[in-house]
Amino acid sequence: MTDAARIAWVDQQCRLMAGIREEIAQTRPFDGLTVGSAIHLEPKTAALVATLRAGGAEVVATGNLGSTQPGTVEHLRASGVRVVGEPTRDRAVRARHIDEVLDAEPQLLLDNGGDLFLRYLERPYAGLLGGTEETTSGRQVLEPHRAALAMPVLVINDSPIKAFAENQHGVGQSVLESYLRFTNRITHGERVVVVGYGWCGRGVADTFRNARSQVTVVDADPVMCLRALMDGFRTTSLEAALVDADVVITVTGGGRVLGPEHTHLLRDGAVLANAGHEPDEIDLDAIEALPGVTAGETLPDVRSVTFTDGRTVHVLGSGHMVNLAGPGARGNSIQSMDIGFSLQTLCLAQVATGQVGPQDCVVPVPRAVDVAVATGYLALKGMV
């Protein structure tokens, strides 16, 4: 399937956004406004951008580390969207891309990880109305800055719909699909360790269990460990879990999880993958810098690291988000992203039209938006 055909297929399947697009093409909530975005640039994002533009928005967009798909960039540019930069895994390069987005002084920000809003605080400009933050990781970094921001910032990940529809079901499914795409390995009977039991981790653990894997959950929070235990998973310490793991999937969204200090615990042939927001949950650079270690690409975008005792472990996507890394990456399912991006569109419209104010700074999606999205999706299924 060509990039153009895939983008067209995705757009046709985003039925919820299609209805919203038709509505906001009449109401035009974004007339005269520019949306600056820093989210994964892949075909579902193209459908979101088309929806925002139907509502009157100009869009200036850049991607995230390791997830920008060239076909989507080409499509967006051909349709008149200003896309900043090319695919990159270099943090310094992406920081320059963030600055270039903010050079356009957009009135609305669609952030993913807090990068745009944090940089705005360092170099403010007049006219920013507020915007949205996609992730829990971004909410965590923005919460201490509420007083400085003093504008509406709606956290999409704090919507219950986003939590179960996209994070639990969408991420769970796409991580399993990506594991199979990268490795062509069996899941049945494999010992899989999932590190992090938030909504995404829950979905990953459930999906691999349903694929007949033996799943162990590790979480730093005893409450989450108790939940995992009562959900039927084995729980233990990270060190104990790593000893017999065939597959280790990090999905904390909270920073470094695996480093050189853990490598002596890993089995020969173990597969490591990261599904968290940042590519530092697996500290691959530090692992490869260990004395006597050799490393190289044995499959496309798979780093195989061999230690001095002959053991080899394989890191999918070089530690970048596994469901958006590597050849043929598809990301989350179309329907889950249709729901999530519908939340984005309606939340940005609330900011643009003044339905939320400074008191709504780094807060969950308004209940009215959740209800509208849920009702719309159920209607598509003929259930309301």
49-76: pLDDT as tens digits: 999 999 999 999 999 888 888 999 999 9
Cα–Cα distance measured from residue 178 to residue 195, given in angstroms and rounded to the nearest whole number: 17
Residue-level pLDDT at 137? 86
Which residues, in sequence order, are bridge partners of residue 242?
Answer: none
Do 176 and 113 reside in the same domain of the chain? Answer: no
Residue-level pLDDT at 377? 97
> 3-state SS of 150-201?
CCCEEEHHHCHHHHHHHHHHHHHHHHHHHHHHHHCCCCCCCEEEEECCCHHH
What are 157-193's pLDDT values in tens digits? Answer: 999 999 999 999 999 999 999 999 999 999 999 999 9
Do 107 and 221 reside in the same domain of the chain? Answer: no
Which residue has better confidence, 384 or 210? 210
Do 7 and 153 reside in the same domain of the chain? Answer: yes
Residue 90 has which token pair? 């270099």
Which residues, in sequence order, are bridge partners of residue 61?
Answer: 37, 83
The set of residues, in sequence order, having a beta carbon less than 8 Å from that of 5 and lying 6+ positions away, is: none
For residue 163, tell me if it sits in a domain: no
Do 287 and 230 reside in the same domain of the chain? Answer: yes
Domain boundary among 266, 297, 319: 319
Do 12 and 119 reside in the same domain of the chain? Answer: yes
pLDDT band of 226, cuts 50, 70, 90: very high
Cα–Cα distance measured from residue 71 to residue 8, given in angstroms and rounded to the nearest whole number: 12
Return the exposure string of 178-207: e unless at least 16 CB atoms fall within 10 Å of the residue's CB, then b. bbebbbeeebeebbbbbbbbbbbbbbbbbb
For residue 345, tell me if it sits in a domain: yes
Do 121 and 207 reside in the same domain of the chain? Answer: no
Do 151 and 18 reside in the same domain of the chain? Answer: yes
pLDDT average, residue stretch 238-258: 95
Using the predicted structure, report yes or no on whether residue 136 has a pLDDT greater than 80.
yes
Looking at the 3D structure of the chain, how many domains does it have?
2
For residue 327, tell me if it sits in a domain: no
Cα–Cα distance measured from residue 164 to residue 112, given in angstroms and rounded to the nearest whole number: 18
For residue 232, tell me if it sits in a domain: yes
DSSP 8-class letter at 356: S
Domain boundary among 319, 341, 372: 319
Residue-level pLDDT at 110? 98
Do 353 and 224 reside in the same domain of the chain? Answer: no
- Return phi, psi of residue 248, to 5°: -125, 125
Do 228 and 144 reside in the same domain of the chain? Answer: no
Query: Would you tell me how many other CB atoms lie within 10 Å of the CB of residue 147?
Result: 7
pLDDT average, residue stretch 357-382: 97
CATH at 240: 3.40.50.720
Residue-level pLDDT at 371? 97
CATH at 93: 3.40.50.1480
What pTM value is reported for the model? 0.92
Residue-level pLDDT at 1? 66
Domain boundary among 271, 289, 319: 319
* Amino acid, res. 242: L
Domain, as residue range, for 263: 168-319
For residue 324, tell me if it sits in a domain: no
DSSP secondary structure string for all residues of 23-81: HHHHH-TTTT-EEEEES--SHHHHHHHHHHHHTT-EEEEE--TTT--HHHHHHHHHTT-
Cα–Cα distance measured from residue 191 to residue 30, given in angstroms and rounded to the nearest whole number: 49
Do 284 and 314 reside in the same domain of the chain? Answer: yes
For residue 325, tell me if it sits in a domain: no
pLDDT average, residue stretch 32-43: 95
Do 44 and 112 reside in the same domain of the chain? Answer: yes
Which residues, in sequence order, are bridge partners of residue 314?
Answer: 271, 304
Do 7 and 68 reside in the same domain of the chain? Answer: yes
Tell me which residue of 3, 11, 5, 74 sits closest to 341, measured CA to CA: 11
Which residues, in sequence order, are bridge partners of residue 120?
Answer: none
Residue-level pLDDT at 67? 83
The set of residues, in sequence order, having a beta carbon less than 8 Å from that of 253 and lying 6+ positions away, is: 135, 136, 137, 140, 196, 198, 200, 276, 277, 278
For residue 326, tell me if it sits in a domain: no
For residue 226, tell me if it sits in a domain: yes
State what percent of residues in the chain have pLDDT above 70. Answer: 100
